[in-house]
Chains A and B, each alone.
Chain A
């Protein structure tokens, strides 16, 4: 209390002596994610990582304190848009980050980037529109464009010599992007391409029976969150785990693994970040996260951690003076920070040019389910929509 009073007094004194008030006001960051309902576990993982980043930064960016305002999008585009609007127009945040879902990001996108005062950093969603035609100087991504991860998986399957593949995914935009992505690079035979109902399908018995009858060399799936849990469980229960290996993107991660358990062992996935990547920033992040929460962070968390670190790098370079948006953008574009995925560059559309790795689901020495890197699928991948973006 005393400190707070003292702090207030200092600010008052500073203002009285004509120091620019701006220099003393904290940097504000809005963070939009899903904190309620069925997908709240993802939002929680992101928030833990953001808080950890704040801790690692000592609560300061470029010498200035910063505060983070969390807003719940409830997994609904219109709510996400309203919350983003509030952050931009009422809280007047310097940065806004988060966004798990493509549709929430797309709904919120224009209100944020057209406003011009706020820089948007997507910590997960990467719809093709934003990488291409709709790209904007006020937008940065610390994740990927939707097609990239499955494309990396397709490359890996080629080198591994998987001759035929059965594709299954949910019948919505991202599901179609993902299956299209693997088809861009995979050269073997596509046995079938099945789409299932979204989001209300809980039974995959018909698909399992079809796969068993088709006898492919492998199954490729994209089922985020709870649906990944269901698919992997039913794949293993049907006995297919003994005959047809499962290759996945975004379906097995630190959030779903406690539920998938042993059933997911040995499956392979593609990702731009893995918890065992051997760089210092990552070691510190993963070790501290585990110490604090007793579980591994997920890629959602890693990307959120990076989003905060990216902002901090710009604030650092500008000594906390964020008044010139042009300078902030230029500094961010340099990606001059220690990313937990290792160093990367931004492409013309402000999406990362980065490596993708193949990860295997294993048990760590303590018996906890996790993933470990087994190969590099592609290096310095540029997303396929970058050419459509008019920015240089």
Chain B
């Protein structure tokens, strides 16, 4: 029972981490109809910038708090130099151009920080386990990820449902031309939203840094996963992204924690232990294919 609870919690934690990454992506995709593959690069830059600032300030909290505005500025800069020119273009152009950005950022990081990976330590006050139930320890830092992820989800929900910016985002997701007609300064709004998306990406990167390793290309692997989540949830839907992230998180954990045992009930032990990871590796892709065959615009996407 405790075991089950812990694994569910692991799934929630993983899902929220992925939601952090997907949130920024769905924001830019939803409002600006922009496929930004370089989102993973912003995730990586968040981790590297945080590493530098934590080194300078010698404080995890301070370094992190300074890194967020820095990554916002980076995001706005990228938007002005490249992204701005992509809004009017088709998805293919966007994929190509932002793919070019990935290559650029990976090599830039290597030139600036060197090829060796970096490490961010878990801050002292979180470097312990806490008892979520009597006698059931859980790493405090993982719990912090859950808290931050949940806070971001709530913040976004509030932002989208209750604020003027949110109104524009919702309007943008359903009809982009409308916002222009409403007399909104689109250029500024888009820069702002892209910067905000970058902040979410950077936040995901620096939150993941203490459990993962800060390295070149760290965002490339999980970018695809973030795109998968958005597509399952439906483009532009924050709610969809959240639900999809939670489902993918749970599926991933189930695949790793329970699938081998389930398979062992009807196949040999060695066959099960080699089949299980293969199955769990493709499970999210199968899920996405099934969802799209069933609903061609994702779970909560706009019907066309």
Chain A residues within CB distance 8 Å of chain B: 35-38, 40-41, 43-44, 171, 176, 192-197, 199-200, 202-203, 205-207, 209-210, 213, 226, 229-230, 233-234, 237-239, 255-256, 258-261
Contacts and interface: CB of A to CB of B under 8 A. Distances in A.
Residue among B6, B210, B218 with most chain A CB within 10 A: B6
A44 B122 CA distance: 28
Interface stretch (B10-18, B59-67, B165-173, B186-194): B10-18
B257 A206 contact: yes
Given A202-B208, A237-B211, A209 B7 contact: yes
Interface residues on B, range: 35 or more
B10 A209 contact: yes
A261 B257 contact: no
Given A206-B257, A239-B139, A37 B216 contact: yes
Contact of A40 (B13, B115, B212): B115
Interface in B247-304: 252-253, 256-257, 260, 270, 273-274, 276-278, 280-281
Nearest to B281: A197
Enumerate the 8 nearest inter-chain pairs by beta-carbon distance, A residue then B residue, closest first: A40-B115, A259-B119, A200-B221, A229-B213, A171-B277, A195-B277, A205-B10, A41-B116
Contact of B115 (A44, A171, A193): A44
Contacts of B211: 202-203, 230, 233-234, 237
Contacts of B221: 199-200, 202
Contact of B119 (A197, A205, A258): A258
Contacts of B224: 200
A255 B116 contact: yes
Interface string B61-84: 000000000000000000000000
Given A200-B222, A203-B212, A206-B256, 10 more contacts: A36-B107, A37-B217, A194-B273, A197-B280, A199-B221, A202-B208, A226-B213, A237-B122, A237-B142, A258-B116
B176 interface: no
Residue among A176, A206, A258 with most chain B CB within 10 A: A206
Contacts of A229: 117, 119, 213
Contacts of A197: 277, 280-281
B7 A203 contact: no
B212 A230 contact: yes
A174 B142 CA distance: 30
Given A36-B107, A37-B216, A230-B212, A171 B127 contact: no
A297 to B, nearest CB: 13
